[in-house]
Amino acid sequence: MTDLTFGWFLPTSGDSTCLGDPASRIPQSLEMFDEVVAAVDNGGYKYLLMPVNATCWEATVVASYYVARTKNVAPLVALRSAYCNPSLSAKMFATLDQMSGGRLCINLIAGISDDDTLADGILDSKQVRYEKMEEEVSIMKRLWTSDTPIGFEGKHYNVNQVIEPKPLQQPHPPFFLGGGSEQALDISAKHSTVHLFWGDRPAEIAVKIKDMRKRAAAYGREGALNFGMRLQIICAESEGEAWEEAQRLIAGATRFNLINNRDGLNAIEGIRRTSEANQRVWQLLDESGDDMKIHPHLWTGISTVRAGAGIAVVGTPKQIADTLDEFVEAGCTSFCLSGYPHAKAARLFTDKVMPLFKGRLADTLPTAA
């Protein structure tokens, strides 16, 4: 039977108990993170996603802090291309992999909005950021495995270094990648250990996985690429309670009332222009009708209040497990999850849903090949 891995999300830009009500926001604090990390580290999860954007606490720094304070879980550190010199990234991640005893995963992303990266002083278009991503990953992989200067000459980087330390995980820590454009899919096929999808109907994911397997096969990597879903979880003892909780979570919100986005509608338009993955998420919201469902237990309501991971699995533990199993049928083996508030939702998933996957959980992180 398939070995599955579960991961959770660390809300380093803040948490909430009701997304429609700005007063319910839980600000970032070490205390809040500690509670989430404890729930995840003791809860059977294999990795903890640490996002990046202007409002998040810095992901690699947060990861370094928590590898020293956890025993089980691996940080899945988001790395935005074009932000960091690749030789430095290779060194930082190899060091972190050594210091964590081989607990590190890297999430490759190009950035959800051109406006946001521009505001940071990064002048590259998304296309160039993806070109740089491809070179950055190639450079890191070579620096991690070479004992002689690598002589890398690319369009954007020339690197001729040999570095220590090398990562503990061999040949290197797993790369995850989240993105929906042609460039994202090509880089993921070539380099990823896990390609991550935001929520969609299982039948759509099956089609996307078939396509990704073909792309990976063109690089001789068909068996090396795994697939994961980035989903929200809204779980309760009865289905009625779960739907009530879903409605309560966005009570007070109107469509595209994105409380977590400082620039409101302008930011939304920037994300809509830049991110094909996000265009699909909001297309699903538009198609979903009044009940905001796209499938019996898949709900787009959270996409009214945030970008990105706005699709939730809603129901009883059994209904949630069955829906996740539809994604397993489609070819997924990993689930990167979250719920509001994050610590409580992580504990609930551990207690009520994970036992339904007994005997099917992997002992280790997905391994790079």
Residues of this chain that interact with ligand FMN (CB under 6 A) are: 51-53, 78, 109-112, 178-181, 184, 196, 198, 230, 274-278, 308
Which lies closer to ligand FMN via its Cβ, residue 159 or residue 365? 365
Nearest approach in angstroms of CB 330 to ligand FMN is 16
Which lies closer to ligand FMN via its Cβ, residue 50 or residue 353? 50
Nearest approach in angstroms of CB 337 to ligand FMN is 11
Which lies closer to ligand FMN via its Cβ, residue 288 or residue 338? 338
DSSP one-letter string for 146-202: -SS---EE-SS-EE----SPPPSSSS-PPEEEE--SHHHHHHHHHH-SEEEEE---H
Nearest approach in angstroms of CB 198 to ligand FMN is 5
Nearest approach in angstroms of CB 176 to ligand FMN is 8
152-153 vs 105-109, strand pairing mode: unpaired
Which lies closer to ligand FMN via its Cβ, residue 44 or residue 228? 228
Residues 176 and 367: beta-carbon distance below 8 Å: no
For residue 252, what is the DSSP state? Answer: T
Nearest approach in angstroms of CB 181 to ligand FMN is 3
Bridge partners (DSSP) of residue 105 are: 76
Which lies closer to ligand FMN via its Cβ, residue 7 or residue 44? 7
Which lies closer to ligand FMN via its Cβ, residue 184 or residue 225? 184
Nearest approach in angstroms of CB 303 to ligand FMN is 13
Which lies closer to ligand FMN via its Cβ, residue 80 or residue 142? 80
Task: Look at residues 141, 146, 84 and name the one whose alpha carbon lies nearest to residue 109.
Answer: 84
The residue type found at 171 is P
Taking CB atoms within 8 Å and a gap of at least 24, the contacts of 344-350 are 344/39, 345/233, 345/235, 346/8, 346/36, 346/39, 346/40, 346/43, 346/45, 347/39, 347/43, 348/233, 348/235, 349/6, 349/8, 349/43, 349/233, 349/235, 350/39, 350/43, 350/44, 350/45
Compute the chain's Rg from CA coordinates.
Answer: 19
Nearest approach in angstroms of CB 129 to ligand FMN is 8
Phi-psi group of 4: left, alpha or beta (phi > 0 → left; psi -120 to 50 → alpha; rest → beta): beta
Nearest approach in angstroms of CB 108 to ligand FMN is 8
Instruction: Give the C-alpha separation, 293 to 322, whole Å.
Output: 16
Task: Look at residues 42, 41, 13 and name the one whose alpha carbon lies nearest to residue 29.
Answer: 13
Residues 37 and 9: beta-carbon distance below 8 Å: no
Q: Strand locations in 30-136, DSSP E?
A: 47-50, 74-80, 105-109
Which lies closer to ligand FMN via its Cβ, residue 73 or residue 337? 337
Nearest approach in angstroms of CB 241 to ligand FMN is 28
Instruction: Give the C-alpha separation, 298 to 336, whole Å.
Output: 15
Nearest approach in angstroms of CB 244 to ligand FMN is 28
Task: Look at residues 368, 341, 311 and name the one whose alpha carbon lies nearest to residue 108.
Answer: 368
Locate tokens 């090398």: which residue? Answer: 166
Which lies closer to ligand FMN via its Cβ, residue 1 or residue 123? 123
Residue number, nearest CB to ligand FMN? 178
Which lies closer to ligand FMN via its Cβ, residue 109 or residue 365? 109
334-338 vs 25-26, strand pairing mode: unpaired
